[in-house]
Chain A
Amino acid sequence: AQSVTQLDSQVPVFEEAPVELRCNYSSSVSVYLFWYVQYPNQGLQLLLKYLSGSTLVKGINGFEAEFNKSQTSFHLRKPSVHISDTAEYFCAVSDIYQAGTALIFGKGTTLSVSS
């Protein structure tokens, strides 16, 4: 069974600073990896995904993530954050052979950007 650990529950940063949100997963099989963002009072929006190929994945809003198979990590990064990036971020994993039944979410990281 897969599991996802988001290592930081809250990450406060100043505007224009770089940020990294950490995600580790455990799985005995190959996985797909995702980052979702949830702005206050909204649904989840897909930021980026790793399915196969290049381990550096670029997403929307200037975010990118790197898949590291040996460290079973999929950390999300942005070189310069904006106030509007304040939101809840969820890392998620699914088994490529049984994707439909189990999109496993981490507990989420609250990113708070202040001026």
Chain B
Amino acid sequence: DTEVTQTPKHLVMGMTNKKSLKCEQHMGHRAMYWYKQKAKKPPELMFVYSYEKLSINESVPSRFSPECPNSSLLNLHLHALQPEDSALYLCASSQDSMQGERYFGPGTRLTVL
């Protein structure tokens, strides 16, 4: 099973809302990632979790808050977002953080009104 799942598929939220994106993998991978992708652009790395600990934060604004409850789950909590945060949010996982090969989920299409 090489599947990474993400929920929801689509999310529309206002600038004052609080919402969460969820990601799950059952491949036994120990590294998980959040990426942001704008239309016609490559994914941009936001966060890296390695063995359930946050190892990389690519200077992401605090309105994005990641959480890794266990080795299979990754959440991204959203609060007070801006319209420019509208994008496709992709979760990925890899065997460990030293492996370049990453498996991506289908993404959550986020629209901030």
| Nearest A residue (CB) for B103 | A46
Given the complex of chains A and B, what is the CA–CA distance between A43 and B48 in angstroms?
18
Q: What residues make up the interface of B, taking CB atoms closer than 8 Å to A?
A: 4, 6, 31, 40-43, 45, 48, 50, 55-56, 90, 92, 94, 96-107, 109
When A and B form their complex, what is the total count of cross-chain residue pairs whose Cβ atoms lie within 8 Å? 63
| Nearest A residue (CB) for B4 | A43
Given the complex of chains A and B, what is the CA–CA distance between A94 and B105 in angstroms?
20
Map CB proximity to B onto A34-60 as digits: 1 under 8 Å, 0 otherwise. 101000011111100101000000000
Among candidates B4, B6, B96, B100, residue contacting A103 with C-beta atoms closer than 8 Å: B100
Interface residues on A, range: 20 to 34
Q: What residues make up the interface of A, taking CB atoms closer than 8 Å to B?
A: 32, 34, 36, 41-46, 49, 51, 88, 90, 92-94, 96, 98-101, 103, 105-108, 110
Among candidates A51, A94, A100, residue contacting B96 with C-beta atoms closer than 8 Å: A100
Given A43-B90, A44-B43, A100-B31, residue A34 in contact with residue B97 (CB < 8 A) = no
Given the complex of chains A and B, what is the CA–CA distance between A27 and B50 in angstroms?
25
Say whether B104 contacts A44, CB under 8 Å.
yes
Given the complex of chains A and B, what is the CA–CA distance between A41 and B37 in angstroms?
11
